Amino acid sequence: MMQTEPTSRFMRACQRYPVDATPIWLMRQAGRYMQEYRDLRSRYSMLDLITTPELAAQVTMQPINAFDLDAAIIFADILPPLMGMGLQLDFVAGKGPVIGNPISERRHVDQLRTPSARETLSPTLEAIQIVANELKPKGIPLIGFAGAPFTLACYAIEGGGSKDYAKAKAFMYREPVAWGRLMEKLVAVQADYLIQQAQSGAQALQVFDSWAGLALGKQAYQRYVAPYNKILFEKISSTRLPIIHFSTGASAYLEDVADSGGDVISVDFRIPLRDAWDKIGSQRAIQGNLDPMTLLAPWENLKGYIDEVLQQADNRVGHIFNLGQGIHRTTPVENVKRMVDYVHEQTRR
């Protein structure tokens, strides 16, 4: 993590410096709940938006222009790195991501390529350059991100979304050696991708391990996930940027999640922030953790739920206000605007 004292609220909170007010940004802050986004999506496919740097940059800026957010996150998806590895990815309307040739045998793992991000993911790297330049005069940092190896391995084996991760877990329990090779290849690709994002101008990096905690118990996490996450976090620490480690459903072993890496641990809405801090130790910053579905309630109710998160955080250094998972597509824009301003007002030091 960088050593010079930064000026922006978000970067300061990542490194647990005192702030003038608690920084706030929202997972999936560029998305369907915004009319500007829906307008673009009516003209372009998901893959178009991601693979056209100017469009990805434009989408990234939509919530920055609409709300007083303290950080931007590059508009991208966690799955495109799988395409470069040889998996056929498509986004199917109403169904989400679908992989045409999912992994089901050891030899499929051996066949996976590990190309550099410069070769296969340059549109996102270019989008980062565009947005970083645009944000510089505003003093707003840009977050780059990538999926953690477990979550990508799940998609690669399931061939898409899953309720019970049955195929991925069966492969993991049945073929622990091939599983290890798959995870190592994913670590190599994702580490390079994140390092390239840093070199393109990202000022912080978030690793999304959206599925490990929901899919696995503590012992399986320690055996099949943590060792690979550790290598990934170790590799990307060379960027000297603050690293955010996002997990969900991992309340039973949040200490193991924190132990595998990250300067900031981004927690889901299931665990109160004080309990989370107890588990991960006071030397880490925490990001979270309002339940995004509270944003579907009227402001009077929503305000009470925001207050609960702020009471839990108690203005401790190193709190970044965020949601416990991505914002829902039916969220009223007005509630987002009021929440962002309310968090700043209530936490002004």
Q: Which is nearer to a copy of itself, 205 or 225 (CB)?
A: 225
Draw the binding track, 192-221, toward a copy of itself (x: CB under 8 A; -: no contact).
---------------------xx-xxxxx-
Which of the ranges 42-50, 55-63, 178-186, 251-259 carries the binding residues for a copy of itself, by CB under 8 A? 251-259
Q: Nearest distance from residue 177's CB to a copy of itself, in Å?
A: 11
Which residues inside 295-324 make contact with a copy of itself, applying CB under 8 A?
296-298, 301-302, 305, 308, 324
155 close to 209: Cβ distance less than 8 angstroms: no
Rounded Cα–Cα distance for residues 337 and 341 (Å):
6
Q: Which is nearer to a copy of itself, 47 or 252 (CB)?
A: 252
Say whether residue 259 binds a copy of itself (CB under 8 A).
Answer: no
- Give the chain's count of helices (H) and strands (E): 18, 9
155 is catalytic: yes
Which residues inside 96-155 make contact with a copy of itself, applying CB under 8 A?
none
Rounded Cα–Cα distance for residues 190 and 148 (Å):
8
Say whether residue 181 binds a copy of itself (CB under 8 A).
Answer: no
Give the number of residues in contact with a copy of itself, rule: CB under 8 A: 41
Site of tokens 């920084």? 23
244 close to 287: Cβ distance less than 8 angstroms: yes
Q: Nearest distance from residue 178's CB to a copy of itself, in Å?
A: 13
Q: Spell out where the chain has E strands.
A: 72-73, 89-92, 96-99, 142-147, 204-209, 243-247, 264-266, 285-290, 319-323
Look at residue 285 and give its three-state secondary structure: strand
Rounded Cα–Cα distance for residues 28 and 82 (Å):
21
Q: Which is nearer to a copy of itself, 206 or 325 (CB)?
A: 325
Q: Are strands 96-99 and 89-92 parallel, antiparallel or unpaired?
A: antiparallel
Say whether residue 251 binds a copy of itself (CB under 8 A).
Answer: yes
113 is catalytic: no
Catalytic residue, candidates 12, 16, 28, 165: 28
Say whether residue 166 binds a copy of itself (CB under 8 A).
Answer: yes
41 is catalytic: yes
288 close to 253: Cβ distance less than 8 angstroms: no
Which of 164, 234, 278, 341 is the binder for a copy of itself (CB under 8 A)?
164
The tokens describing 298, both together, are 């009227």
Say whether residue 249 binds a copy of itself (CB under 8 A).
Answer: yes
CA-based nearest residue to 134, from 56, 21, 43, 26: 56
Q: Nearest distance from residue 78's CB to a copy of itself, in Å?
A: 17
Rounded Cα–Cα distance for residues 114 and 128 (Å):
22
77 is catalytic: yes
Active site residues: 28, 32, 41, 77, 155
Q: Contact positions toward a copy of itself, by CB under 8 A?
A: 161, 163-166, 169-170, 173-174, 176, 213-214, 216-220, 249, 251-253, 269-272, 275, 289, 291, 293-294, 296-298, 301-302, 305, 308, 324-325, 328, 330
